[in-house]
Chain A
Amino acid sequence: MPADSPLIEVRELSRRHPKEDKWLLHGICFSIAGGDRVVISGPSGSGKTLLLRAVAQLDPIDQGDVLWKGHSVQPAKIPAFRREVLYLHQDPVFLEGSVKHNLEVVGEIQLHRGHQLDEQRVENLFRQFGCQSDFLTQDQRDLSGGEKQIATLARALQLDPTVLLLDEPTTALDDHRTRIFEDQVQSWISASRSNRAAVWVTHDQEQSRRFASRTIHLESGRITDVGYDGISGE
């Protein structure tokens, strides 16, 4: 990695509407360095989820690039990039079976082959959220939306990524558990500040103030404001 280069650098990222003559994202530039806690805000339809997905390279883009540690990501290296830059969907999806099965099933992906589930670490995380002792063995069909969001965080953290891309990850959680979720992500970053960062999409301004070291405000697919430590740049 070139000296001082950020973990992720988004350069002039743009994406057109597939059918209409308009931009869904246009000229987006920002970077994410170790220790960053970036919050992306903006009205519905402003492109927050699209931006997060574009950073994870889940969708094709029309212009610009997303650099990983100073370099473009070659097509063959994209799965390895996504292992480092983990995108958490707004509506978590689980396969048939228990929570444990869903945490272990990632071991079937070639990049995670040999990865062993650290049950103690995961159970400890569930305890922090006040989940029942048998949470790990519960069938995923019995989980509430909030419990799925907790299990998704556990699934992501056990894979030891570098950057977490969190798309409204606490919408189904109560206030108490939302705070625990935020604390867990903050402590995860603090444990290795130079190598970890998170980008969080939220509509909740209070949450943004609590979590963000930097904020990016989007409107109609363009960055309209950048702020630091919850203070708007305007």
Chain B
Amino acid sequence: MLVALTQLLVCQLLGEVMARAFDLAIPGPVIGMGLLLCILLYRESVPESLSQTANGILAHLSLLFVPAGVGVVAHLAILGNEWQAILGSLIGSTVITVLVTGWVLQKMHRRKNDAT
């Protein structure tokens, strides 16, 4: 577990360094994810320890959003003035995005399956 955690941190650190060194628009952790993905795809299989640690962190993924979410108290003024627009935009856009993405993927998979 300690080894796996270190592997994750090393990937993130390399990602952060690359993002700053080359002034990339892509955030460090995403570059880190890309790096790890390339390494894992190159290898035969995913190491068991890394797999367990990743599952452990991702199982409680939603907990990690709580501190940022509480930031709502710092923006009560903006939210108070513009809550209709913000809520309307968030609900409308989320529903449309779920529909479009799901529909496109299901349609294209169907077509492929029908063809074979």
- Do the two shown chains form a genuine complex with each other? no
